[in-house]
Structure 1
């Protein structure tokens, strides 16, 4: 997806053959990511708030042709073109990492189907007894979050929420103050077990609505604040994510 206002400023044209599609594509020309030639890049122009400094989002369709080792804190990525043979091993060292098998959940953004990378997730209050099972959605453009309905089974009291609230900017230049809760997460259901992490989840983040998750099955976003803690490996072609545990 590409920001519609930015695209109009670049005088882009509709990609041939997509004029009558429900979500027409525009041709952005030849794209290069570092030394990786991405070929001709097509994108859907949308009116949607993008992460700061960004004009678009890379789709699951694009990421399927790549194997990646990402170190967000160091602002470094190793990217290789994925081989067509799905049996080919990863070119990265997964020692010390735990494999999380990924599933695909199709949501909708502005009426356009958007596949999301997901995995099973269990959430409990740190030191608590109650536990909820839901779906983790991996999103590199958002902080970690869940809806009030998702964690309703934890029976949180006011003292269970963080004293410090999170203030975020929303479209229109205004801000929104959201509550956070310190929760224990068990991400994934691989052969070696889930990845256990503790995090302050933002309750009711606008990203949940942006991704069409408020009306979907119980979900939580595993966002950049968790994924930046240590380098991780992502291979959509193999349907897996490797994280430190």
Structure 2
């Protein structure tokens, strides 16, 4: 009995590891549009996705990290449970990028309406093209860095850059960035303003900052000095 349980546990772990490394085994339907491959369990047509993907592409190709020939795999889980199943130990309400395969997982995507949600049916939503752009920013940053550097870096740099690239402003003003805690949307804005401040003062690009050991504490100090009267 004990050996059977161990065998089942090992098999379950092996299957899970395989799915994490190759999620396309589960998301076995695909539709391609330019640099994107959308993977799902339900067949889709190019006409359903091309408008949203083209809007995202217009922002993504302006990134200093973008290179010709880059491809982006986008996965569409059917539930919040599937979303967390395929992106364990990761943060992100609307989108997460797999550390194993670089896939962009969308929590709840409605291509017809062009909307992204944390869970299907949620009243609150973001622009789907912006959320895809955020995922691409994380993915391109991941490709730029060594795996361990990416895994342990503070999120302020990449989250701020993703907000810049995706045009995430919300209805915030600089004074809203002075609070260290708040909604995810407020934090996106705070990290965006923090990164913009550092890039301006250091006169560097995001790509340069990724190669430097510029601390969160230093960036936060500059933000407060510039906008919070500290």
Q: TM-score, normalised by structure 1?
A: 0.25
Of Structure 1 and Structure 2, which has the larger fraction of its residues in helix?
2
Of Structure 1 and Structure 2, which has the larger fraction of its residues in strand?
1
Q: Which has the higher contact order (CA 8 A, sep 6+)?
A: 1
